[in-house]
Chains A and B, each alone.
Chain A
Amino acid sequence: MALVEGTGISKRYGGIVALDDVSVAIDRGEAVGLVGPNGAGKTTLFDCLNGVRHLDAGEICFEGRRIDRLAVYERARLGIGRTFQRLELFAGMSPREHLMVAERVHRADGRLWKDLIGRGRARAPVARVEDLLVELGLDEVADDPIESLSHGHGRLVELGRALVQDPLLLLLDEPSSGLDTREAVGFAAVLLEVRARRQTAMLLVEHDLDFVQRVVERTYVLDFGKMIASGRVDEVLADPVVRRAYLGEVT
């Protein structure tokens, strides 16, 4: 059984059909790409999978359980982590604090009464947070304000914030956008290492096809809200339908 299985997903914005009868399935520990031209519906599919948007039709199962009516936070607690195309960081907090808050939410430690009697405070550093900071190479900047860090560090902080919750599925929305070539290669290496260590399943939206090829086993191709191809990256790229979608009519 697939870890996550979406069948017949459709989503309209007014008259625009953003997703039209799209189906995806990702197994445990599998890394899958999601490519397609701008406006193909990639981010909309992400939003549907993690609950930011509700489906107009279709269903999504996670570990065999229907999740398409659950809220974002409920899906997160089931094990769907996510990063964002446009960085969504917590202003005024350091990388360590980003990971700490995610870790505490994961442990469902957020009871008001605990805070009021002083039991909710952070005392000792949390081992998994510290380990993860080192693993992602963020230990040097762990206490700097997030505003002072580079875009590449921001991407890593988003990744760490998701990883600290031990997600079963990680949705990565264009992680290489805004990074230079060196940073992108580094980020791909981090992703490979993350996979090797934890066998997290990933769905990766990405324009940088080198990046995709380095990280994933197979990929989906979306165009105008329709799934037009799926398979190994090199095979898919050789597909004339895909070439047409990306490059226009070639004669």
Chain B
Amino acid sequence: MTQFLSYAIPGLPYGCVFALMAVGLVLTYQTSGVFNLAYGAQAYASALIFYVCVNAGWPSWAGFLAAVVVAAPLLGLAMDRFLYRFIRSAPVLVKLVSALGMLIAIPSALQLIFGSQERLAPPSLWLPPDSVYFHVAGDAINGTELSTVIVTLAVVLLASLMSHFTQIGLRMRAMAESPRMVQLAGINSERVGVAIWVLSSFLAGLAGVLLAPLFAELQALNFTDLLVAAIAAAALGSLTSLPLAFWGGIGLGVVQELLGGYLPSGSVLSSGLRPALPFAVLIVLLLALPGLRERWFHDDPLSACDPPPPPMAAAIGGHGLEELLRGGGWAVLAVFFVSCLTWVPGNWTFTLTQGLAYSIIFLSIVLLTGMSGQISLCQAAFAGIGAFTCAQLVSHFGISVFVGIVAGGAVAAVVGVVVAMPALRLGGLALALATLAFGLLADNVGFQFPWSGNGDSGVNIPRPQLGSLNFTSGKAFFVLAFVLLIACAAVVLAIRQGTTGRELAAMRGSELAAASIGTNLAKLKITVFAVAAALAGVGGALYGSLQGTVSPNDFNSFLSLVFMVVVVTTGVYTVQGAIQAGMAYVILYQVLDYLPSEWRNLFPILFGLGAVTYALHPEGVVEWQKRRVVEIVVGWRKHPEAVG
């Protein structure tokens, strides 16, 4: 018992932070219908501001006021007022992509403002971290742990008193039940909504400041993991119950530490499984709780009274413009090909070859999200599976790298099927969360073994060789990558133009109607997931062979999110969009490399903000601009009103 307690008690501070986040997440999801993926970024924002203030010599109460009481609610309100309230009735995909854009843009924007240097030993909020107050079951309780637990309990007590004994609390609880009913009762639900965003953002800020000192360094990535832990805790309460979400958070924190205590130390299992627990819990919950799946759709008893969601804006252009763009695209591609073989300097050829590999990975997102309306937040993991499969096969069995690349795609496809099978019955938000959790699980556990990604040291993939043909030189490899990209693009185009593509478009339009005309949605989704995973796997293996050495960090879970926002910004509906995305990705990175290091943060900011415009320009804001420009330049007058 003493041993059990000594393992369990250090989990309490983590549990408290998870619980605060989970409660805040459920609050806004229930009342505004927006699943705020940027919640982790909000927590990070407050933690960072607190750090900066305290390091500038402010007393910690002043830092607390600035970071948690002022900055956090302001940020939350800004997001609600300028973004979320406009997309409440939009399709799930739009809401998720917009929130994803914020999740990616906010941390970088902060680092651009406050500098992106290492931030070691984040300060504790209240009690000093190095003094021990008392011992429980052999655990020394330090100031950080003690203050985290006390502050959490106090805040939760206050919040529940408020929700039960004040008018605004009563209205908030009514909003959680049904915002529309609240409106019908003559209450200004917008104002209550604002109060809820303030409260929820305050909780995020508080959680961020409390969590920071539990890690040695303040890193944005820790807060993405925190977000997933909070989602898992919220899922324990079916995303609706605040008390269950709270206790779910506490429980998760405790069980995580228990696992760390009882599992053999030093093994990958204990170092990997402990942090991966929330993701595993989330996947299991999504699959096991049928109520959770139905909950995503029917949150408000009056939701049937809503007007149908507004249709997505249509892309500019009639058929003539389409053909022009297609022809122009091929021409640009041909010029690009010849240029790279003739006058482009070697280091740029290398960069552009990377772009070709990324383009293949991005084709998988065009197929999944653009053509089928499914959202997967683990495409980088599939790319990693492709690369590591190729590396292991080549180094252990001495097979040709070509065969390795194909095998990488095949293994990724098989894993894709395994992921898709249970996720099938999920849709929209649940699918996004399940794939997000899978990506984190692959990253933290799956890729750490010597037989897969081999942790930080990574694995080697040589350049391929075919008889006397040798692809070690930059130009030869460029040609290989180019041909492979054309082949993959041909596959996607063939699917789009064939019956499968039409069925996918139908499924994207309405799953209910697609099923009612006899489309086997399960089979269709598995197929499209498998093909997409294969594309990502081939792209990943090609990238690995280009780099020579790749490690799990080249395919980390955060990259999956970045990939998504990049493709959504440059054009998610078309094959051209994927190639634009691949090129924009590497070229922008290379250009920013010439600038001072701070400027590198512009990259996620630009694409994050690009993704936020998804609701307005589902075809991609870059694609939209391209079409406008082409239309004006060519003087297209078929739809004169669209040009002006």
Interface residues of A (CB under 8 A from B): 50, 52, 71-73, 76-77, 81-82, 84, 86-93, 97, 100-102, 104-106, 109-112, 114-121, 145, 147, 158, 161-162, 165
Query: Which listed segment binds A: B11-19, B278-286, B498-506?
Result: B498-506
Most chain A CB inside 10 Å of its own CB: which residue of B497, B508, B518, B531: B518
Q: Is the CB of B518 within 8 A of A106?
A: yes
Instruction: List 10 A–B pairs whose Cβ atoms lie within 8 Å, in order of A's numbering.
Output: A73-B516, A81-B516, A84-B512, A89-B510, A105-B503, A110-B503, A114-B498, A118-B494, A120-B499, A121-B498
Residues of A contacting B515 in the complex (Cβ-Cβ under 8 angstroms): 52, 71-73, 76
Residues of B contacting A110 in the complex (Cβ-Cβ under 8 angstroms): 499-500, 503, 519, 524
Partner of A52, one of B506, B512, B519, B531: B512
Q: Is the CB of A92 within 8 A of B498?
A: no
Q: Is the CB of B314 within 8 A of A147?
A: yes
Q: Is the CB of B498 within 8 A of A88?
A: no
A73-B515, A90-B506, A115-B498 given. 6 additional CB < 8 A pairs?
Answer: A81-B517, A91-B508, A92-B314, A105-B503, A110-B503, A161-B513
Residues of A contacting B498 in the complex (Cβ-Cβ under 8 angstroms): 114-116, 118-121
Whether, in the assembled complex, B509 has its beta carbon less than 8 Å from a beta carbon of chain A, the answer is yes
Q: Is the CB of B516 within 8 A of A72?
A: yes
Partner of A90, one of B499, B513, B520: B513
Whether, in the assembled complex, B491 has its beta carbon less than 8 Å from a beta carbon of chain A, the answer is yes
Q: Is the CB of B502 within 8 A of A100?
A: yes
Residues in B106-152 with C-beta less than 8 Å from chain A: none
Q: Is the CB of A120 within 8 A of B500?
A: yes
Partner of B497, one of A87, A92, A121, A161: A121
Q: Is the CB of A102 within 8 A of B494?
A: no
Q: Is the CB of A116 within 8 A of B494?
A: yes
Q: Is the CB of B506 within 8 A of A93?
A: yes
Whether, in the assembled complex, B186 has its beta carbon less than 8 Å from a beta carbon of chain A, the answer is no
Q: Is the CB of A105 within 8 A of B505?
A: no
A162 to chain B, nearest CB (A): 7
CB-nearest residue of chain A to B513 = A88
Residues of B contacting A109 in the complex (Cβ-Cβ under 8 angstroms): 499
Partner of A165, one of B495, B506, B518: B518
- The docked-state distance in angstroms from the alpha carbon of A161 to that of B502 is 14
Partner of A73, one of B308, B500, B518: B518
Residues of B contacting A105 in the complex (Cβ-Cβ under 8 angstroms): 499, 503, 517-519
8 A-B pairs closest in CB distance: A115-B498, A90-B509, A120-B498, A88-B513, A76-B518, A72-B515, A88-B510, A101-B502
Q: Is the CB of A115 within 8 A of B500?
A: yes
Q: Is the CB of B499 within 8 A of A50?
A: no
Q: Is the CB of A161 within 8 A of B500?
A: no
Q: A114-B498, A118-B494 are in contact. Are A93 and B517 (CB under 8 A)?
A: no
CB-nearest residue of chain A to B522 = A71
- The docked-state distance in angstroms from the alpha carbon of A80 to that of B308 is 25
- The docked-state distance in angstroms from the alpha carbon of A29 to that of B86 is 48
- The docked-state distance in angstroms from the alpha carbon of A219 to that of B520 is 33
Q: A115-B499, A147-B314 are in contact. Are A101 and B505 (CB under 8 A)?
A: yes
Q: A89-B509, A89-B510, A110-B503 are in contact. Are A145 and B314 (CB under 8 A)?
A: yes
- The docked-state distance in angstroms from the alpha carbon of A102 to that of B499 is 10
Q: Is the CB of B518 within 8 A of A101?
A: no
Whether, in the assembled complex, B312 has its beta carbon less than 8 Å from a beta carbon of chain A, the answer is yes
Q: A73-B515, A84-B513, A161-B517 are in contact. Are A93 and B499 (CB under 8 A)?
A: no
Q: Is the CB of B517 within 8 A of A165?
A: yes
Whether, in the assembled complex, B320 has its beta carbon less than 8 Å from a beta carbon of chain A, the answer is no
- The docked-state distance in angstroms from the alpha carbon of A165 to that of B518 is 9
Q: Is the CB of B520 within 8 A of A73?
A: yes
Partner of B512, one of A88, A117, A120, A147: A88
A144 to chain B, nearest CB (A): 11
Whether, in the assembled complex, B156 has its beta carbon less than 8 Å from a beta carbon of chain A, the answer is no
CB-nearest residue of chain A to B304 = A86
Residues of A contacting B513 in the complex (Cβ-Cβ under 8 angstroms): 84, 88-90, 158, 161
Q: Is the CB of B312 within 8 A of A91?
A: yes
B87 to chain A, nearest CB (A): 16
Residues of A contacting B495 in the complex (Cβ-Cβ under 8 angstroms): 112, 115-116
B71 to chain A, nearest CB (A): 39
A205 to chain B, nearest CB (A): 15
Q: A82-B516, A90-B510, A105-B503 are in contact. Are A147 and B494 (CB under 8 A)?
A: no
Whether, in the assembled complex, B521 has its beta carbon less than 8 Å from a beta carbon of chain A, the answer is yes
Residues of B contacting A97 in the complex (Cβ-Cβ under 8 angstroms): 502, 505
CB-nearest residue of chain B to A109 = B499
- The docked-state distance in angstroms from the alpha carbon of A72 to that of B503 is 15
Residues of B contacting A162 in the complex (Cβ-Cβ under 8 angstroms): 516-517
Q: Is the CB of A115 within 8 A of B501?
A: yes
Residues of A contacting B508 in the complex (Cβ-Cβ under 8 angstroms): 90-92
CB-nearest residue of chain B to A117 = B494
Q: Is the CB of A101 within 8 A of B516?
A: no
Whether, in the assembled complex, B311 has its beta carbon less than 8 Å from a beta carbon of chain A, the answer is yes
Q: Is the CB of B505 within 8 A of A92?
A: yes
Whether, in the assembled complex, B241 has its beta carbon less than 8 Å from a beta carbon of chain A, the answer is no
Whether, in the assembled complex, B527 has its beta carbon less than 8 Å from a beta carbon of chain A, the answer is yes
- The docked-state distance in angstroms from the alpha carbon of A110 to that of B527 is 11
CB-nearest residue of chain A to B314 = A145
CB-nearest residue of chain B to A105 = B518
CB-nearest residue of chain A to B491 = A116
- The docked-state distance in angstroms from the alpha carbon of A112 to that of B532 is 13
A161 to chain B, nearest CB (A): 6
Q: Is the CB of B516 within 8 A of A93?
A: no
Q: Is the CB of A114 within 8 A of B499?
A: yes
Partner of B517, one of A71, A102, A116, A145: A102
A49 to chain B, nearest CB (A): 11
Q: Is the CB of A73 within 8 A of B509?
A: no
A248 to chain B, nearest CB (A): 23
Residues of A contacting B517 in the complex (Cβ-Cβ under 8 angstroms): 76, 81, 101-102, 105-106, 161-162, 165
Residues of A contacting B497 in the complex (Cβ-Cβ under 8 angstroms): 115, 120-121
Q: Is the CB of A104 within 8 A of B518?
A: no
- The docked-state distance in angstroms from the alpha carbon of A162 to that of B509 is 16
Q: Is the CB of B519 within 8 A of A73?
A: yes
- The docked-state distance in angstroms from the alpha carbon of A126 to that of B521 is 24
- The docked-state distance in angstroms from the alpha carbon of A102 to that of B500 is 12
B311 to chain A, nearest CB (A): 4
B617 to chain A, nearest CB (A): 14
Partner of B506, one of A71, A76, A101, A121: A101
- The docked-state distance in angstroms from the alpha carbon of A114 to that of B516 is 23
Residues of A contacting B531 in the complex (Cβ-Cβ under 8 angstroms): 112
Partner of A86, one of B308, B506, B509: B308
Q: Is the CB of A92 within 8 A of B500?
A: no
Interface string of B477-496 (1 = CB under 8 A from A): 00000000000000100110
Most chain A CB inside 10 Å of its own CB: which residue of B505, B513, B514: B513
Most chain A CB inside 10 Å of its own CB: which residue of B501, B519, B524: B519
Residues of A contacting B527 in the complex (Cβ-Cβ under 8 angstroms): 112
Q: A72-B515, A84-B513, A116-B494 are in contact. Are A104 and B505 (CB under 8 A)?
A: no
CB-nearest residue of chain A to B501 = A115
- The docked-state distance in angstroms from the alpha carbon of A72 to that of B513 is 10
CB-nearest residue of chain A to B308 = A86
Most chain B CB inside 10 Å of its own CB: which residue of A112, A121, A147, A158: A112
B548 to chain A, nearest CB (A): 32
